[in-house]
Amino acid sequence: MQRPMKCLAVIHTGGTIASRPSPDGRGLTPQQAPSVPGLGGVEVHDFRPFNLPSPHITPAHMLELAHLIRQLAPGHDGIVVTHGTDTLEETAFALHLLLDTPTPVVLTGSMRHAGEVSWDGPANLLDAAGVALHPQSAGRGPLVVFGGDIFDARTVTKVHTTAVDAFGGYPGPIGRIDRTEDAAHVRFFATPERRRTYAPSRLDARVDILYAYAGWRGEGYAGAQAGADGIVIAALGTGNLPAELLPLIAATQQPVIIATRTHAGPVLPVYGYAGGGATLVRAGAIPASFLNAHKARILLLTLLGSGLGEQEIREVFEEAGF
Ligand SMILES: NC(=O)C[C@H](N)C(=O)O
C-alpha cells in the first residue's frame, strides 16, 4: 500500500541543537530535542535513542545509530540525525562505512543554542529535512548539511569552534540547499565516489591517536604500543616524523596508520630521510590517504571490528576502500 504522504524520521542524539543553559548555572547541557519547523505535507517521526553532548558519543553509539537507521530506512523517505558538532564528522563517517541503505541519511546540528538570538538549529534542521527528502539525495551515502552547504561524510570536517559555518573540508561541499518562502532549492555539484560498506559486530577495539610535533621523540608511544589494537599518528606534512619514531614503528606489531595533522591533502611516502614517509612505509606503516586522523581511526576500528587482518587493512587504506 502506498504511504499517503512523505515520511521523515528525525533521530535526536543531543548536542548544542538540543541544549539550553542549565538552570543550576553549570553551563550549556543537552535538554530538549528541537522539532522540525513548518514541514507541510510531511509526516515526521521523532526518535531519541540518547541525548548526549557529542564529546560523550562513542563508537558503540555510532553502531547503535546504524542499527536504528537500518530498521527505520524501509519505512521512511528520508532520515535526519541531529548531533553535536564536535564529533559529528566521526559519526557521519562511521555511518558512511556501516550503511548501505539508499534512503538518504542527513546529519546536522547547530552552533548556537535555542536561547541565543542567532540560534541556527531550526534552519539547519529544515535544510537537513529538505535534503533528506530530495529525490536526488538517494544513494549518495550519509550527508552532512550545515549552513546550507551539503557535504559528503568522507571529506567533511569541523573547521571552526564558534562560527555558524562550522563545517568545511577539502575539496568542499558537494551541494547546496537554499530556501525561498515556499520551496527548498537543492543542487548537487558532485557525486561521491563509490564506497565499500562493512558489517562489524563491534566497534570496541582500542585505537589510539598520537599527534606529532617538532621535537617529538616518541613520548606517549610506548603506552599505545603496549595497550592498543592499532595506532593512528597525525604526522607532519605528507606523513613524516622525527627520526626517533622510525625504530618504534618498525618494532610495532599492531597496524600503525600515518595520517597528517595538515588540514588537507594526501599522505604520500616520498621522503627518504629517517622518519620520512617512505621510510615509515618500509617499516610497515600504512598511509591514511586523504583521511584525517580521527576518521582514519574510525576506519581502523571498523576494519578491526570486521575481523580483518593487517594485510587486508593495508589493502583497504591503499585502495581507498572507504
Ligand atoms: N555545537 C555543538 O554541538 C558543540 C557541542 N559541544 C557538542 O558537540 O555537543
**Residue 257 in contact with residue 231, Cβ under 8 Å?**
yes
**Residue 250 in contact with residue 274, Cβ under 8 Å?**
no
The pLDDT score that the predictor gives to residue 177 is: 98
Output the average pLDDT for the chain.
Answer: 96
Q: With 60 as the cut, is the pLDDT of residue 1 above it?
A: no
pLDDT tens column, 83-139: 999 999 999 999 999 999 999 999 999 999 999 999 999 999 999 999 999 999 999
The pLDDT score that the predictor gives to residue 38 is: 78
**Averaged over 254-272, what is the pLDDT?**
97
* Confidence category of residue 2, pLDDT binned at 50, 70, 90: low
Buried b (16+ CB within 10 A) or exposed e, 273-312: eebbbbbbbebebbbbbbbbbbbbbbbbbbbbbbebeeee
Ligand 1 neighbours, Cβ below 6 Å, are 15-16, 53-54, 84-86, 109, 111
Preceding omega of 171 cis (within 30 degrees of 0): yes
15 CA closest ligand 1 atom index: 9
Three-class secondary structure assignment of the chain: CCCCCEEEEEEECECHHHEEECCCCCCEEECCCCCCCCCCCEEEEEECCCCECHHHCCHHHHHHHHHHHHHHHHHCCEEEEECCCCCHHHHHHHHHHHCCCCCCEEEECCCCCCCCCCCCHHHHHHHHHHHHCCHHHCCCCCEEEECCEEEECCCCEECCCCCCCCEECCCCCCEEEEEECCEEEEEECCCCCCCCCCCCCCCCCCEEEEECCCCCCCCCHHHHHHHCCEEEEEEECCCECCCCHHHHHHCCCCCEEEEECCCCCCCCCCCCCCCCHHHHHHCCCEECCCCCHHHHHHHHHHHHHCCCCHHHHHHHHHCCCC
CATH of 207-318, one of 2.30.30.100, 3.40.50.40, 3.40.309.10, 3.90.1150.60: 3.40.50.40
Give the HSE-up count for residue 5: Cα atoms under 13 Å, Cβ half-sphere: 9
**Residue 288 in contact with residue 296, Cβ under 8 Å?**
yes
Q: How far is CA 74 from CA 93, 97, 117, in A?
A: 21, 19, 38
pLDDT tens column, 45-97: 999 999 999 999 999 999 999 999 999 999 999 999 999 999 999 999 999 99
116 conformational bin, left if phi > 0, alpha if psi -120 to 50, beta if neither:
beta
pLDDT tens column, 158-194: 999 999 999 999 999 999 999 998 888 999 999 888 8
**Averaged over 227-232, what is the pLDDT?**
98
The pLDDT score that the predictor gives to residue 34 is: 87
- The verdict on whether 85 is a catalytic residue reads yes
The pLDDT score that the predictor gives to residue 181 is: 83
- The verdict on whether 82 is a catalytic residue reads no
d(CA 288, CA 314): 9
For residue 29, the cross-strand partners are 20
**Residue 77 in contact with residue 105, Cβ under 8 Å?**
no
Domain ranges of the chain: 6-188, 207-318
111 CA closest ligand 1 atom index: 1
The pLDDT score that the predictor gives to residue 216 is: 98
Neighbours of 17 (CB within 10 A): 27
6-188 shares its CATH topology with 207-318: yes
What backbone phi and psi angles, to 5 degrees, belong to 151?
-120, 150
Q: Which residue out of 26, 54, 87 has the highest number of ligand 1 atoms within 8 Å of its CB and is therefore the one to mutate?
A: 54
User: pTM (2 decimals)?
Assistant: 0.97
**Averaged over 218-233, what is the pLDDT?**
98
Instruction: Kindly name the residue from 16, 155, 157, 260 that is annotated as catalytic.
Output: 16
The pLDDT score that the predictor gives to residue 192 is: 84
Class of domain 6-188: alpha beta
Instruction: Kindly name the residue from 13, 82, 85, 279 that is annotated as catalytic.
Output: 85
Residue 240's nearest CA partner among 214, 207, 209 is: 214
